[in-house]
């Protein structure tokens, strides 16, 4: 917008006037009908519910061509949305929440993804979108009354349901970013209150990504500083058997969003803009191992 247009619009707004009082409630009711807000759920599940709402907002703008364009993993947007629904459904099954879509035969995420994708391919993109959103919201509703520490199993990993859900939130976020990139839309970051617990999960995963990568971090301690809204500082014992972190052997400072995305398999560990200090080879090992859990 150029200066003359800005000037003109400001001039036109120099006479503010109050619309009728009924307009506000009318607007909020109308908004609910146009786009569903984030599902009401437990506080710890809200980062996930908000990422679902953000993905849905992106899908609102998708036109026919967008749905058949390949986004990531060789999947079209429709297949990607089916993939998210598949994994959400497996987590739902694990905590006794309703599972939508075809009956579960394959209990692992890749197998279940194939099932749901096959089912959704016969449906319209809009139906796929509705199915995914219905599954996500059903999961949120179920979690509203569940303790965060309730054990849940996904792909053979049994951890607290809250951690699984943070991981689901991160995956939904990353795939929304993938789709936004293809659609050339700028996706704003989640709010700091939602980024922080996600970053915390990523930090806590580091001993496991080291283990999975065959790198030995036992007895070593990392000081991780994540900058930007939602960041913070973590002191992490890098061995999964370690009782408690000691004095830091290495320091890593990086942007909180880039770090979360690295764990999610986006970006090259060697190219991540990060300040390393202390035992540099340990710090590099941590970054190299970071994407170990990422998959489709």
Partner 1 sequence: MEAPYDDRLLHQRVVGGDESALGEVYDRLSSLIFGLSLRVTRDRVIAEDITQEVFLVFWERPLAYDPDRGTLRAWLATIAHRRAVDHVRAEERRRVSALGPRLFEREPARLEDDVLAADEADRVRQAVTSLPEGLRQAIELAYFGGRTYRQVGEELGVPEGTAKSRIRLALRRLADALAEEEV
Shortest Cβ 217–partner 1 spacing (Å): 35
Separation between Cα atoms, residue 25 and residue 28, nearest integer Å? 5
Instruction: Indicate which single residue of 52, 97, 203, 287 sits in contact with partner 1 (rule: CB under 8 A).
Output: 52
Give me the DSSP letters along 36-58: PPPPP--GGGHHHHHHHHHHHHH
* Residue 2 vs 65, nearer CB to partner 1: 2
| Residue 277 makes contact with partner 1 by CB under 8 A | no
Measured CA to CA, the distance from residue 126 to residue 113 in angstroms comes to 18
| b (16+ CB within 10 A) / e for 94-107 | bbebebbbeebeee
Question: Cβ(222)–Cβ(250) under 8 Å?
Answer: yes
The footprint of partner 1 on residues 123-182 (CB under 8 A) is 180
Rule CB under 8 A: say whether 63 interacts with partner 1.
Answer: no
Cα distances (angstroms) measured from residue 25 to each of 21, 28, 29, 34, 61: 8, 5, 6, 14, 26
Cβ neighbours for 179, distance < 8 A, ≥ 6 positions apart: 55, 58, 62, 66, 71, 77, 80
Q: Which of 103, 186, 270, 271 binds partner 1 (CB under 8 A)?
A: 186
Of the candidate residues 42, 45, 54, 290, the single one contacting partner 1 (CB under 8 A): 54
Q: Does position 43 bind partner 1 by CB under 8 A?
A: no
Per CB under 8 A, the list member of 156, 188, 214, 273 interacting with partner 1 is: 188
CB of 139 to partner 1, least distance (A): 15
β pairing state of 221-227 and 232-237 = antiparallel
Among 95, 106, 110, 185, binds partner 1 (CB under 8 A): 185
Is residue 32 within the footprint of partner 1 (CB under 8 A)?
Answer: yes
Cα separation, 3 vs 22, in Å, equals 35
Closest CB to partner 1 among 9 and 157? 9
Residues 6-25 that bind partner 1 (CB under 8 A): 6-20, 23-24
Q: Which of 44, 56, 94, 236 binds partner 1 (CB under 8 A)?
A: 56
Residue closer to partner 1, measured from CB, 26 or 149: 26
């Amino acid at each position: 917008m150029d200066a003359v247009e800005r000037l003109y619009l400001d001039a036109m707004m120099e006479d503010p006037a109050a619309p009728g009082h009924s307009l506000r409630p009318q607007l909020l009711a109308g908004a609910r009908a146009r786009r569903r807000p984030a599902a009401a759920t437990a506080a710890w599940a809200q980062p996930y519910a908000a990422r679902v709402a953000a993905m849905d907002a992106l899908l609102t703008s998708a036109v026919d061509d967008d749905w058949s364009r390949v986004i990531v993993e060789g999947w079209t947007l429709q297949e990607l949305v089916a993939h998210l629904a598949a994994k959400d459904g497996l987590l739902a099954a694990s905590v006794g929440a309703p599972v939508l879509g075809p009956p579960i035969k394959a209990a692992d995420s890749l197998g279940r993804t194939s099932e749901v994708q096959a089912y959704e391919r016969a449906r319209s993109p809009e139906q796929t979108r509705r199915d995914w959103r219905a599954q996500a919201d059903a999961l949120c509703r179920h979690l509203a009354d569940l303790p965060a520490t309730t054990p849940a199993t996904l792909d053979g990993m049994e951890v607290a349901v809250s951690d699984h859900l943070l991981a689901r939130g991160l995956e939904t976020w990353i795939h929304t970013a993938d789709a936004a990139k293809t659609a050339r839309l700028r996706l704003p970051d989640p709010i700091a209150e939602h980024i922080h617990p996600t970053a915390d999960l990523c930090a806590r995963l580091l001993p496991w990504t080291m283990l999975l990568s065959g790198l030995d971090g036992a007895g070593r301690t990392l000081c991780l500083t994540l900058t930007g809204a939602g960041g913070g500082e973590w002191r992490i014992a890098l061995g999964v058997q370690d009782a408690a972190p000691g004095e830091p052997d290495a320091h890593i400072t990086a942007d909180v969003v880039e770090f979360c995305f690295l764990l999610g398999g986006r970006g090259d560990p060697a190219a991540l803009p990060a300040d390393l200090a202390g035992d540099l080879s340990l710090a590099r090992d941590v970054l190299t191992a970071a994407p170990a859990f990422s998959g489709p």
